[in-house]
Structure 1
Amino acid sequence: MLALVEKIKNSPLWRGLIRFQQVLMVLTSVFVVLIMCFEVLLRYVFKSDLFGIEEIVVIAAFWLYLIGSSYGVYDKSHVKADIIPQLLTLRAQAFLSVLVRLTMTVLCVVFSWWAVDMVLYSIEWMPRTTGLRIPIFISQVSILVGYILMSFYSLVYFLEDLGKFLSFGKEDKKGAFTS
């Protein structure tokens, strides 16, 4: 199982997804900052307004937040409370990590499924923003992509932690379990 996880982590797909996320996060961050600066300049210096600019910023922010969230799952830098594992034995920490990863994977898959339904509904009925009439599904696809990526990373890390738990005590009894 651990060999499969290592093969996935060393695959071009894994590296490509990470690169895609990094590029998208940088581009959307820069875009949001530039648009907000442009809007401030227009509004407070030139006493003008650009109709519908908020709609564009919200779409970019959706992509930024959801891709950033999935990158946080990949990087294992998402918010977590980890005081309880410090009180447990190494084997109990390993089991808890498997349980947490399983729960996270199941929830991400469920949210991905709901996101598919949401996007399909939006494509079918084609609701649009009020100002620029931008199709709503453009921002909703970010939810779908974000949760699919979170599901993928969660599944890989679940398999990794499960493999470590199942081999716990067989190889290195000295080291702490890391998740």
Structure 2
Amino acid sequence: MLSSLFKSILSVGCALWRFKLQLQRWTLFVTSMGVTLLVFIQVIMRYFFDVPLYGIEEVAIYLAVWSYFIGAAYGAHQKEHISASLVDVFLPEGLGQMLIGMLASLISVSVSAWMISWSWYYLSWTFRRGTVSVDLGLHMGWVHSAIFLGLLLMTMYFFIDFLERLFQIFQYKKVSSKRETL
């Protein structure tokens, strides 16, 4: 009974995880295509018809902000974010390299978690003030929520990476202690 309940919860969790990743990919595609299309339309309107389209730059910038932060989160999930991997060059494979990697993951989690608090304050300030964009009067909460959501996702992915590295170290120590007893 308990085993089947656990399997059901796990299966729902996995489905939600896949849906979240699919939603991130979809958001990246839509925002990237939107920016491309808007810039293309603006170039055609401005240089061929000599008629600037009002507010198009504003919408393109806001789509780009969503693309940047969701893209950064997706890059963190794929472990393709920017990192300085000089440790791989100087340290031989083994526990030292694993510990440095875990420390780097811990720093990433800490910094991104700290940035979440700042982005939350910024987002809540935006909603309290009712800040709107200059050209189109769009509520800036829609734009600033991308910062908060992107950092929230990045922190979650960095935390998962930290846990994976921590478990790898425990596995490494377990295997190396078995070798010493042989």
List per-residue Cα deviations over 1:88-146 (Å, max 9, x = no partner).
Answer: 14100110111000110111111111111111110000111111111111110000010
CA distance in 2 between partners of 1:80 and 1:103 (Å): 12
CA distance in 2 between partners of 1:88 and 1:147 (Å): 31
Give the structure, 1 or 2, with the largest relative contact order (CA under 8 Å, sep 6 or more). 1
* Matching of residue 36 in structure 1 with residue 39 in structure 2: yes
Secondary structure of the corresponding residue to residue 175 of structure 2 = coil
Q: C-alpha root-mean-square deviation of aligned residues, in Å? A: 1.8
CA distance in 1 between partners of 2:16 and 2:66 (Å): 20
Please list every run of 5 or more consecutive structure 1 residues that lacks an aligned counterpart in the other structure: 1-6, 174-179
Aligned length: 166
Matches within 5 A, 1:1-179: 11-89=14-92, 90-171=94-175
Higher helix share: 2
Please list every run of 5 or more consecutive structure 2 residues that lacks an aligned counterpart in the other structure: 1-9, 178-182
- How far 1:86 moved relative to its partner? 2.5
Identity score, percent: 26
Q: Which has the larger radius of gyration?
A: 2
Deviates more, 1:63-72 or 1:129-138: 129-138
Contact 1:101 1:157 in 2 (8 A): yes
Contact 1:85 1:96 in 2 (8 A): no
Contact 2:87 2:100 in 1 (8 A): no
Contact 1:42 1:49 in 2 (8 A): yes
Contact 1:39 1:50 in 2 (8 A): yes
- How far 1:172 moved relative to its partner? 7.5
CA distance in 2 between partners of 1:110 and 1:12 (Å): 29
- What residue identity is the alignment partner of 1:55? E
The TM-score normalised by the length of structure 2 is 0.86
CA distance in 2 between partners of 1:33 and 1:69 (Å): 19
- How far 1:13 moved relative to its partner? 2.7
- What residue identity is the alignment partner of 2:61? V
- What residue identity is the alignment partner of 2:89? Q
CA distance in 1 between partners of 2:58 and 2:48 (Å): 22
